[in-house]
Amino acid sequence: METTSEHYAMWGVALIWVILYSLILLFLPFYRKCGRKPKTAYLAFVIAFALEMFGIPFSLYFASWAFGIHLGEGVFWGHTLVNSIGHTGMYIGIVLMAIGLILIVSGWQQIYKFYWSKEKGEGKLVHDGIYRYIRHSQYTGLFLITLGMMVEWLTIPQLVMWPVMLTLYIRLAFKEEKDMLEEFGMAYRVYKDGTGMLFPKL
């Protein structure tokens, strides 16, 4: 079984990757106790990515054990799109992750300045900056970051966990919107009707 061994057993790199991408959670709202499951799902996704990209190709070994077949590079191990567009897929993944990070940080700046940092009852409805186009830009950013990871190095755990993580964050977004309606009433309803939830309205 031949693999691109230069990618594996790099445990220090895997740890650094997990730490860096865990810091993103500091820029996301923590919505009471119900925000723990989505964040835990994101952390599990990042750990799965780092372990298989820099540690051990578990997906490759599982497929070999379960089905007695050897998967070619790009099929649950190695650069995902290497057999179709070479390392261009890696750069596409990097671009997706960069856009996601920009969305998260820009959204955090607006929310922190006008809502989180205010005393209770004094925060205002944020609909400027990136929030002029997307109501949950930070969650969109998180989806793009994790999508970029899969475009870079797709594994079986990621394929299973990604839709679960998306579902948890979308449910969280709906709960947050319910609170926003209670807090801002008609002003939020008007904003909601005119702005896309995760992607800009055409």
Instruction: Give the contacts of 114 (CB within 8 A, at least 6 positions apart).
Output: 123, 124, 126, 128
Q: Which residues of 163-173 are buried (b: 16+ CB within 10 A; e: fewer)?
A: eebbebbbebb
C-alpha distances in angstroms, 167 versus 11, 15, 143, 161, 162?
Answer: 30, 27, 11, 10, 9
What's the CA gap between 66 and 77, in Å, rounded?
Answer: 16
Total structural domains within the chain: 1
How much is the pLDDT for 67?
A: 81
Whole-model pTM over 0.85: yes
How much is the pLDDT for 43?
A: 95
Q: Could you tell me if residue 49 is inside a domain?
A: yes
Q: What are phi and psi of 129, to 5 degrees?
A: 60, -140
Q: 21-46: per-residue pLDDT in tens?
A: 999 998 886 555 557 889 999 999 99
How much is the pLDDT for 139?
A: 95
Q: Could you tell me if residue 199 is inside a domain?
A: no
Digit-by-digit pLDDT tens for the chain (202 residues) are 444 556 788 999 999 999 999 999 988 865 555 578 899 999 999 999 999 999 999 998 888 888 888 888 888 888 999 999 999 999 999 999 999 999 999 999 888 888 765 555 567 888 889 999 999 999 999 999 999 999 999 999 999 999 999 999 999 999 999 989 998 999 999 999 999 999 998 7
Domain that includes residue 161, residue range: 5-194
How much is the pLDDT for 169?
A: 94
What's the CA gap between 157 and 136, in Å, rounded?
Answer: 26
- The CATH code of the domain that includes 161 is 1.20.120
How much is the pLDDT for 9?
A: 87
Q: Could you tell me if residue 200 is inside a domain?
A: no
How much is the pLDDT for 1?
A: 41
Q: Which of 169, 138, 173, 153 is nearest to 46 (CA)?
A: 153
How far separated are the first and last CA of the chain, in Å rounded?
49
Q: Could you tell me if residue 202 is inside a domain?
A: no
